[in-house]
Amino acid sequence: MSRTPAPEAVIVAGGFGTRLLPLTARRPKHLLDVGGVPFLEHQLARLAGVGVEHVVLATSYHADLFAPTLGDGSRWGLRLDYVREEEPLGTGGAIRNVVGALRDDPDGAVVILNGDVLSGHDLAGQLADFDRPRDGRRVDVSLHLVRVADARAFGCVPTDGSGRVLDFVEKSNDPVTDQVNAGCYVFRRDVVGTIPPGRVVSVERETFPGLVAEGRLVTGFVESGYWRDVGTPEALVAASRDVVLGVAPTPAVDPVPSGARVAASAVVGAAEVGGGSVLMAGARVGDGAQVRGSVVMGDAVIGPGARVTDSVVGPGARVGAHAVLTGAAVGDDARIGDGVTLAPGARVDCHARIDGPRDQAAPGSGESR
């Protein structure tokens, strides 16, 4: 008996990450630290865990940084290829752009992951459901769907009793279902080839509705495991905290019972670090400081007596003694002076300098003085 080929996977990782500025000024959002490792490591480890052997990374913004960080995939028992899109092509266009890197197996399964969603859903179960024929027909595309308490802010995906997707309904004050798209798909290889090449295509607005209209078998796999879009600083901090505390299941790291993940070369004085915090290599925390639920990136310094809560401090940044940060995003090599209290939700640009209490960053402005 011939062996069924292992599923392949595509991770769509071409976004600019504008909602995450200033953290993405020098790197793609997909390589930001979440739970102590670059975000994509969570997805690669998860794919390897369900038997995927080949992953194609669809890149664009700062494409040159992916391979030095992730390598050839051998750390996870994978073969990892990189395909760069020269111009943004949307979700569907990015998938179509990598078709030449996939096997030429019409019935093969191709897992598609959005490169900014942390998920603990049952991917193995979704693959098994994808391989289950309906009335003798193969499934063409499977979508992971989750149920939400209030679907008014989402496009809805109604299904019938067999799981077949009936429609894609735009946001409404009177949703037709509580099921929404969670951003993990399984395609047949030949369906990927039907996406128009060389132009912007949205799978959500064009590909999926078109397949349903053509009578193709598109199914929904409804399963409400952990999932979170990490597209904002607040969401990135929350996802990192959830990984450290074990709320977000991921094979990439083990949860830390103490509630703080500290890199081997980080330095912590007589400080309190916890609440799901992460200190990356070279980070230093001064005596009497408190770091709660935050991500402190490589070589950043938190001064004595500072209070850093639910914040991200970029590589090489300095937070002065007795400074107070709450929900802040501090860019690379920025300087926050002694005694400064930033407005909640402040964003401080790379290399910015705030010398005293009168020079505070405005919340969400992306600027500082």
Q: Where residue 331 sits, what CATH number does that domain have?
A: 2.160.10.10
Angstrom CA distances, 311 to 253, 259, 272, 342, stand at: 21, 16, 15, 11
Q: Does pLDDT of 335 surpass 60? A: yes
Residue 368 confidence (pLDDT): 42
User: Would you state the pLDDT for residue 35?
Assistant: 93
Which of 138, 123, 155, 131 lies closest to 50, judged by CA?
Answer: 123
Question: What pLDDT digit, counting tens, does each position of 174-224 carry?
Answer: 888 889 888 899 999 999 999 999 899 998 889 999 999 999 999 999 988
pLDDT at residue 312 in the model: 97
Number of separate domains in the chain:
2
Look-up: residue for tokens 């027909």?
Answer: 137
User: What b/e string do you get for 256-268 counting C-beta neighbours within 10 Å, with b at 16 or more?
Assistant: beebbbbbeebeb
Please report whether residue 52 resides in a domain.
yes
Exposed, middle or buried, 210 (CB in 10 Å: 0-12/13-18/19+)? Answer: middle
| Residue located via tokens 């024929």 | 133
Between strands 347-348 and 227-229, the pairing is unpaired
Interval 147-169 mean pLDDT = 88
Domain end (from 192, 213, 229)? 229
pLDDT at 359 over 60: no
Residue 363 has pLDDT above 80, yes or no: no
Angstrom distance (rounded) from CA 12 to CA 301: 33
CATH code for the domain of 89? 3.90.550.10
Residues 104 and 209 in one domain: yes
Identify which has the larger pLDDT, 204 or 349: 349
Kindly tell me if the per-residue pLDDT of 44 is higher than 90. yes
Please tell me the predicted confidence (pLDDT) of residue 287.
93
Asked, for residue 235, whether it belongs to a domain, the answer is no
Mean pLDDT for 266-292 is 91
| Residues 118 and 212 occupy one common structural domain | yes
What are residue 290's DSSP bridge partners? 272, 307
Burial of 353 (0-12, 13-18, 19+ CB in 10 A): middle
Q: Are residues 223 and 260 in the same domain?
A: no
Residue 142 falls inside a structural domain: yes
Tell me the pLDDT of the chain averaged across its residues: 90
3-state helix/strand/coil string of 116-162:
CEEECCCHHHHHHHHCCCECCECCCEEEEEEECCCHHHCCECCECCC
Structure tokens at 281: 């290599």
Mean pLDDT, residues 288-315: 96
pLDDT at residue 172 is higher than 90: no
Q: Residue 182 CA to chain centroid, in angstroms? A: 12
Residue-wise pLDDT tens digits, 79-122:
999 999 888 888 899 999 999 999 989 899 999 998 889 999 99
pLDDT given at position 366: 46
172 within 8 A of 136, measured Cβ to Cβ: no
The answer to whether position 79 is within a domain reads yes
Is the predicted pLDDT of residue 327 greater than 90, yes or no?
yes
Residue 70's H or E segment, with its range, is helix 66-70
Report the pLDDT value the prediction gives residue 369, as an integer from 0 to 100: 34
Q: What is the C-alpha separation between 235 and 249, in angstroms, rounded?
A: 16
Domain-ending residue, one of 211, 229, 247: 229
Beta partners for 169? 156
Question: Longest Cα pair distance anywhere in the chain, in angstroms?
Answer: 74
The range of the structural domain enclosing residue 271 comes to 256-354
* 342 domain-assigned: yes
Gap between the terminal Cα atoms of the chain: 69
User: How would residue 3 be classed by pLDDT, with cut points 50, 70 and 90?
Assistant: low
**Is 237 contained in some domain?**
no
Q: By C-alpha distance, which of 237, 233, 258, 234 is closest to 248? A: 237
